[in-house]
Every structure is written in C-alpha cells, then in structure tokens.
Amino acid sequence: MNQVRLHTPSKPLDRDVADRFSRVTVSSISDSLERMAGAVGVNVVGNSLSALNGRAMVGSAMTVRTRPGDNLVVHKALDLADPGDVLVIDARGELVNAILGELMAEYAATRGIAGLVVDGAVRDRESISSGQLPVFSKGFSHLGPYKSGPGEIHGTVTIGGVTVQDGDIIVGDADGVVVVPRARALEALNAAERVVESEAHQQQAIRSGSWDRSWIDAVAQVVYIGEET
C-alpha cells in the first residue's frame, strides 16, 4: 500500500523563460491558450504570493498524485524536487483531510521550491498566508493527513479540471493557476506579452475617453422589447 512510483523527471525550465512568465498575468496567459488551460477552483492561500513582490509564481511542474487524505508521496516529492519546481499535487479535490500545512510549506521554501499547488485541502492557513512560499489549494481543513501511500511522482495528474504533465509550466497569481504545456511555452509566452501590451493601450484609451466601442454594435444584435406605437 505504501508504494511510491517514480517516472522519469522532466528537464529544468529555462530561467529566462521563467522570468518572462513571471512578468505577465495568469489571465493573459489563459487568453493566449484559448481560455482552456486554467485550474478551476484552485486559489492562492491568503497573502502567500506577497514574497514575490507583484510577480507571478512560475516553475516547472513536478507532478504528484496521491490517495485523498494521504501525503506520504508528497513528503518524498519534497525531498526529490529541484529548486524552481512547483509541486502540483493531485489529491482528487477532496477536502476532508489536509494534504500539507505550515511545516511542509516551510520545508519546501528551504529546498528552493517555487510553489505548491494542491487539488485538495491544506491547513495552517494563517501561517502559510504570512509565509515565504506561494501556496494554492482547493480549500482548507484542520484534519491532518495520513501517511500510508500509495502515490506517484512525475506522472500525469489533474488539477482543477486541467491535465498536467510533468515539466509543464505552472504560473499562479491572485486570479489562480494556469498550466502551459511545455511544447507551447514560447508560443503562449509571446502571445501573453502581446495581450499585456494590448490591454495597456486599452487602459490608456479608457482614461482618455477614446476607447473604441464600435465592435459591440457590429457583433450584438439588439432586439427592442416594448409596446408598439
């Protein structure tokens, strides 16, 4: 029952690519990926992003699949992770028992891990919120985890309804988590940077009162309802 299955790990994420991703928003990346790559319902824990000074959490996915309510394999993954990895933990979305808490988050930070994403519950919300490591979760529970296994590392997982392969790029900010397939990294990054630039121009137009709204009438068919005269 306590078996931990290890697949072949992926290659590290290029630091320049990671730096560029940290400067764009999750929503802009989501837009560049047909708005289909977001993990729904997996949200940041309190202010745990504050240590990044306004940047997004970025890292290469180290995928972890565990039995709901059990974290034996998560402990093993913490010891195997490389600096810059984001642990993506598929706990089937169950919220009865927390998968990790303050101590594991603090240990992850000392290992240079870039963040923790849990499709399940965590605990110690207040201490994680004020910590030095971004943590995302589906919810919270004060009930602690079991440590019986089984589990799997570097395999295919699902978080918030989106499939994640080991080595995919994980980006998280206040809006949630987006998953960028490694093969589409530069395509998505370049498109996201264009989205950010376009939205900056639109903000300037809004403030100057010159935002073009003509597209609405070109798209929307307005039907007026009322008494005939």
DSSP 98-130: EEE-HHHHHHHHHTT--EEEEEEEE--HHHHHT
Binding residues, by number, are 101-104, 123-124
Angle at the Cα of 200 (from 27 to 16), degrees rounded to 5?
A: 60
User: DSSP class of residue 226?
Assistant: S
Nearest CA to 70 out of 105, 118, 116, 114 is that of: 118
Do the beta carbons of residue 87 and residue 77 sit within 8 Å? yes
Question: How far is the CA of 207 from the CAs of 193, 201, 202, 203, 210, in angstroms?
Answer: 22, 10, 9, 6, 8
| Rg of the chain over all Cα atoms, to the nearest angstrom | 20
Residues flagged as binding site for Mg(2+):
124
Report the 10 Å Cβ neighbour count for 34. Answer: 7
Binding positions for substrate: 101-104, 123
